[in-house]
Amino acid sequence: MTATLFTFIFSAALLLTTLAKLWLARRHLAHIAAHRAAVPEAFREKIQLADHQKAADYTSAKARFAMLGALFDAALLLVFTLAGGIQFIADICHGWFGAPLTQGMATIVAVLLLSSLLEAPFSLYHTFVIEARFGFNKMTLKLYLIDALKSLLLGAVLGLPLLFGVLWLMERMGAYWWLYVWLVWMAFNLAVLFIYPSFIAPLFNKFTPLQDEAMKARIEALLDKCGFTAKGLFVMDGSKRSAHGNAYFTGFGKTKRIVFFDTLLGRLSGNEVEAVLAHELGHFKRRHVLKRIVATFAMSLGFLWLLGQLMQTAWFYQGLGVSTPSTALALLLFFMILPIFSFLLHPLLSAYSRKHEFEADAYAAQQTAATDLANALVKLYQDNAATLTPDPLYSAFYDSHPPAAVRIARLKTL
């Protein structure tokens, strides 16, 4: 393959992917608008028209904003690649740093920091305009900046040693470097799973043990019934940042803990909380977390092998606007363009995730009343202003959870 041909392939893929994103968003907007005037029949007894229309408007606002973000991301990628942005930054770092490994690290860090800085206005607008307009944002600008600083420092503490190790292995381990990098990547991710509940999450939120003794007894009885052991039951101060509610498991092995948003506990009844927890336990009992970890590691191995082949070809660099090949630039270029060439995998990954959600719902219906889970889901859709009428094709690409109508209908059969 020639560099010119690869430039054409990359440009065509970027154009088609961006157009597909815009087309899917327009379909989504049109579908929501067509169903905005009336609550779907299955939800009319529990969802008010005003809440349904709020969800439609909130989802539409996010979709329009995502269209702008897709255009910006495409333009930024072109600037970094074909317009020579990465090569320009690499040349500067080459003049400032001596060792090739240091030059490579500096280039990658500089590109990532510059990207984050350019994308910051989008994050600010989403948080302080869209989320605030619909009553969800509870975050102050000060807290936002503190979170950003913490994330930056955490990324440096965890990411820089990992980046150094990856680049060192790429340069020193010969033709099979990708296998060694994969092993390090697996070990790093598993280590983060272990330390996240106790050391990382508390940097951003306050976690307090569940104080409601009646609720605690119900949950512990359910855990015992399902054969699940957790290090603790915690309530997170999610209301400090957002009015959205949720519940989740975190950790791995003996560090597993159950976390409820304070906004969730204030909205659901005891039976509904128990049903939501039973759904989460379904993911554990059906080994969904383990399956997803295995699938992620398998895909990462394939991607690293592919990178190992591409970085040995001149057309890969030249076709993306880079004239001085290096392991660092190969790593950077590959993972910048990967989302473009893997976009068509979205429906498959979403379908796999939705399959797990159905299985977890079925498990919850065995342990608690299916009607309790259905009622809880309706409240969560309402409180989070999630649209009840997404475009089916858009949902197939982007939604990891089944559409509300499909999910509730299946629960009714259980």
Where in the sequence numbering do the catalytic residues fall?
Answer: 280, 361
User: Which residue reads 């807290």 in tokens?
Assistant: 143
SS3 135: coil
SS3 266: coil
Give one word for 201, left, alpha or beta, with left for phi > 0 and alpha for psi -120 to 50: alpha
Pair 409, 42: CB distance under 8 Å: yes
Pair 411, 400: CB distance under 8 Å: no
Torsion, Cα of 333, 336, 338, 340 (10° steps): -120
User: Which residue reads 């510059």 in tokens?
Assistant: 114
Which tokens in the block code for residue 142?
């000060």
In whole angstroms, what is the distance from residue 345 CA to residue 379 CA? 31
Pair 14, 76: CB distance under 8 Å: no
Pair 96, 106: CB distance under 8 Å: yes
Pair 205, 139: CB distance under 8 Å: no
In whole angstroms, what is the distance from residue 280 CA to residue 219 CA? 12
- Maximum separation of any 2 CA atoms in the chain, in Å: 69
Kind of pairing between the strands at 257-261 and 247-250? antiparallel
Pair 261, 246: CB distance under 8 Å: yes
DSSP code of residue 402: -
Using the CB atoms, write b or e for 315-330: b if 16+ within 10 Å: ebbbbbbbeebbbbbb
